[in-house]
Structure 1
Amino acid sequence: MGTESPPYELNSFSSVQNHGESAKDKAVDDWLPITSSRNAKWWYSAFHNVTAMVGAGVLGLPYAMAELGWGPGMAVLVISWVVTFYTLWQMVEMHEMVPGKRFDRYHELGQHAFGEKLGLWIVVPQQLIVEIGVNIVYMVTGGKSLKKVHDLVSPNAPEIRLTYFIMIFASCHFVLSFLPNFNSISAVSLSAAVMSLSYSTIAWTASVAKGVQPTVEYTYAGKTRTDVVFNFLSALGDVAFAYAGHNVVLEIQATIPSTPEKPSKKPMWRGVVVAYIVVAICYFPVAIIGYWIFGNSVEDNILISLEKPKWLIAMANMFVVVHVIGSYQIYAMPVFDMIETFLVKKMHFTPCFRLRFIARTTYVALTMFLAMTFPFFGGLLGFFGGFVLAPTTYFLPCIMWLVIYKPRKFSLSWFTNWICIILGVLLLILAPIGALRQIILSASQYKFYS
């Protein structure tokens, strides 16, 4: 994966080197979440990336395997891990490709590749849909996991609506959302990363302890060929959702200090490698063992299929709650940055706590409301995975690489990027079709706010 030299001279971008930055602009940058702190260590990159990636997605992987089957399921898992590892390396490399300039945000890199206006229109809508979509899914996941803990610990207690558990889960975010930047949520993120490894391990070890079910079947669960095809397509989106970290990787790298002698990409890449090893340790055992034990009867959240021992499954679900609290904050931070940048730089509001309080509280309330209204966990994974995670994770970094570095036609880099682009476009087209059908079927049987 050799890095081609960008097609410009060292001094051709002197206009972007921040020398003319005014004191006011500097003060605003010091207030905004992404650029306010640049003293992170390489291990911050590791646990931020683990927290961003290993979340609701890992719990749905056995279900995705059941809809894909053994052969296609293993192929999709491995290919996705390899492709996203490669595209994440590209993002890390492109962070400081212009001397004296750091692309601290995904859309800034898009603007450099596609132009000032077109770059914004290409990247910002997709990134916002990803981050808001993931936050909604995590609201649902947190609420469902809390409900599972309640039902396990108090099986004879009166039934409590999922809606209320989503509200309980959301309540902590009305407080945590006031942490100003990535470095300030590092303790939350570290806890979340540890929890992700813990509940993933519990998920597959408890499955092994349960043993292969007597009625296990590895045939497709769909009753008709149409069901099988649409479920297969939806499962592609489920797997894509599991590799969502690219949407915040530049923002995470922006927190690491950088000098010409010690560029940020070195510690960032070290953290990414560690994170991807942890991702493999979490994903592959859960996906393979979960499907092996339960077959096509596995739930869209593996922990729901596990009932005993009750104390262990309750603990695992609480680990999920802690983890998605951290994941929510990781994905919310770039959204907070966009909102506050718009309010301060475009609308000319004064940077202050009151502005931050109103903006962030409104955002948390909005994601809570949408999660309460549309808690279709499995369908949401597939839809968001295919519709917006496929472009921003699987092929948008490759397109930007081709546009900026212009590798020689038919070279290894050229072929690699085009293969990733083709796979990503297929995922973008196919996955939302199956997921949308699943959401419609779930909605037809759902009573709002039940």
Structure 2
Amino acid sequence: MAHTSMHAHGDVDRETAMDRAGRSSSSEKTREKSGTVWTATAHIVALLVGSSVLAVAWTFAQLGWVAGPAVVVAISVVTYFYSALLADCYRDPDHLGGAVHGEYIDAVRSYLGPKSGTFCGLIQYGVLWAAMVGYTITSSASMSAVQRVNRFHHDWLGAADGGGTSGVTYTVAFGAFQLLLSQLPSLEDIAWLSVVAVATSFGYSSICLGLCTARWASHRDVRGTLAGAAGDSPREKVFNVLLAVGNIAISYIYAPVLFEIQDTVKAAPSESKTMKKASLYGLAMSAVVYLLLGISGYAAFGNDAPSNILTGAAFHEPFWLVDIANICVVVHFLGAYQVIAQPVFSRLEAYVGGRWPESIFVTASYERRLRVPAWTAAPPTSITLSPVKIALRAAVIVATTQVAALMPFFNAVLGFIAALGFWPLAVYLPVSMHIASLKIGRGKARWWVLQGVSMALLVVAVGMGVASVRDMVKRLKEATPFKTMD
């Protein structure tokens, strides 16, 4: 397939490629990028250290003491390898015109042709939008957990008020915040938001680690088994293992926004070198967090580890500490949501701008300057407000919020979509572009190695997808619209 893709690219008109390179060079001159290794690392960690951290104890319970840590390390290594291949594709080689790609879909079109670009776009933006829905549901669940833990505490004290707020209220509140944040212009201008997201992600991760370690110390023995939970049957065990592997693999997918992140960093040293360092640091930090929480959580709860450490029945006291952890989850997802939403917004705005270039509604804009919090040490930023930007971004967020409220089981759907996106976005397309870039001929040793690993990971991805569909069907039977599920 890679060989065919290279021929497809050869049919692209050379003059078009040179024009694109010229536009890219002009764009770089007019936009001075200020991103560094650390801002890029912040974006990556904000995405990787997410809701899967809260489920990593359950993941280890399905995999056991041997496979649990091994899967985390293996997926970290695999993700770094393929992210390095992608980073090298940010700038085309000279024989392809030397263009710079600020979006994944543009790079795929350049290396592999328009058909592959369309294929990439459908999967990429589908996965990103599904993740936005998942973030909304998870945040609503954490806000509901604050209310539930407080009520449990008051019941214990004999002072329960009997009142409550529905999950849909929290879902709408989260969407309202995103309406405001969505008017920030680009990833480069919200680096400070990613720093806040990273700080809060480490905040709730640290609290979870402390709570699990305390529970572990309270019974003074290491629970769990080498092979993990047995399951009700061998078939059930296989599906649970696939779901567990999927939980880790899905959390490590940041390929859909890698080019957007790389497009924010300075050109010197090369963007590729900076992005590889950021990927290494981000993946290393994330792996440490997953390993610590997986080991402590599994040792504390054994094969009975809950699916979510914070929103389930694992911890109710100290209630104030559990509340802080859940609030940190919400703040983290406020920032992480924007990291994945910005590429969706940009693609929609580019499409509308190209479709109706002369429309006043599309071309009108008004610039306003904002002051960011002084403690972030970030310079003042400006916001360009335009009717089309406000309307499109609001429409996307409103639709996302509605789906999250109506389909609280959508996390299962998210798992299925992400399982579908894992192989093409994080494996197949990076390999195909790498082969096209270096002109690696079919049948050579390197070609066989790359394609062999790709096919092996495809088998894993198919298994993850089947397990996700099965999980989705089970959750459909239990779901209630407008009620957030743990």
Larger Rg over CA atoms: 2
Q: Is this contact kept in 1: 2:171–2:404, CA < 8 A? A: yes
The Cα shift of 1:426 comes to: 1.4
Cα separation, partners in 2 of 1:62 and 1:229, compared to 1, 3 Å: same
Give yes or no for the alignment of 1:268 onto 2:301.
no
Distance 1:391 1:203 in 2: 33
Q: Is this contact kept in 1: 2:21–2:99, CA < 8 A? A: no
The Cα shift of 1:415 comes to: 5.3
Distance 2:349 2:120 in 1: 18
Please show how residues 296-445 of structure 1 align to structure 2 within 5 Å.
296-304=303-311, 305-348=314-357, 349=359, 350-351=362-363, 352=365, 353-376=386-409, 379-380=412-413, 382-407=415-440, 413-414=446-447, 416-445=449-478
In structure 1, the partner of 2:185 is: 180
The Cα shift of 1:217 comes to: 5.1
Q: Is this contact kept in 1: 2:134–2:411, CA < 8 A? A: no
Q: Is this contact kept in 1: 2:104–2:259, CA < 8 A? A: yes
For normalisation by structure 2, the TM-score amounts to: 0.81
Letter in 2 for 1:101: A
The Cα shift of 1:408 comes to: 6.3
- Partner residue of 1:228 out of 212, 226, 237: 237
Q: Secondary structure at the match of 2:479?
A: coil
Give yes or no for the alignment of 1:140 onto 2:137.
yes
Runs of 4+ in 1 over 6 A off after TM superposition: 212-215, 408-412
Question: What 5-or-longer segments of structure 1 have no aligned partner?
Answer: 1-5
Greater alpha carbon shift after TM alignment, 178-187 vs 215-224: 215-224
In structure 1, the partner of 2:66 is: 71
Cα separation, partners in 2 of 1:317 and 1:13, compared to 1, 3 Å: farther
Cα separation, partners in 2 of 1:377 and 1:54, compared to 1, 3 Å: farther
In structure 1, the partner of 2:174 is: 169
Distance 2:43 2:318 in 1: 31
Distance 2:301 2:53 in 1: 16
Distance 1:240 1:38 in 2: 31
Greater alpha carbon shift after TM alignment, 434-443 vs 272-281: 272-281
Per-residue CA shift, 1:309-343, capped at 9, x if unaligned? Answer: 22222111111111111110000000001100100
The Cα shift of 1:162 comes to: 1.8
The Cα shift of 1:45 comes to: 0.7
Greater alpha carbon shift after TM alignment, 210-219 vs 419-428: 210-219
Distance 1:226 1:207 in 2: 30
Distance 2:355 2:45 in 1: 34
Q: Secondary structure at the match of 1:211?
A: helix
Give yes or no for the alignment of 1:280 onto 2:278.
no
In structure 1, the partner of 2:111 is: 113
In structure 2, the partner of 1:3 is: none
Per-residue CA shift, 1:132-182, capped at 9, x if unaligned? Answer: 111111011111111112222344342332222211222210100000111
Distance 1:81 1:21 in 2: 36
Per-residue CA shift, 1:160-206, capped at 9, x if unaligned? Answer: 32222211222210100000111221111110011112222221221
In structure 2, the partner of 1:59 is: 54
In structure 2, the partner of 1:199 is: 204
Distance 1:145 1:330 in 2: 20
The Cα shift of 1:409 comes to: 6.6
Cα separation, partners in 2 of 1:202 and 1:340, compared to 1, 3 Å: same
Letter in 1 for 2:110: H
Cα separation, partners in 2 of 1:20 and 1:293, compared to 1, 3 Å: closer
Q: Is this contact kept in 1: 2:92–2:437, CA < 8 A? A: no
Distance 1:380 1:226 in 2: 21
Identity over aligned residues, as a percent?
Answer: 24
Q: Is this contact kept in 2: 1:63–1:298, CA < 8 A? A: yes
Distance 2:31 2:316 in 1: 45
Distance 1:332 1:203 in 2: 27
Question: What 5-or-longer segments of structure 2 have no aligned partner?
Answer: 1-5, 153-159, 366-385
The Cα shift of 1:212 comes to: 6.5
Distance 1:62 1:378 in 2: 18
For normalisation by structure 1, the TM-score amounts to: 0.87
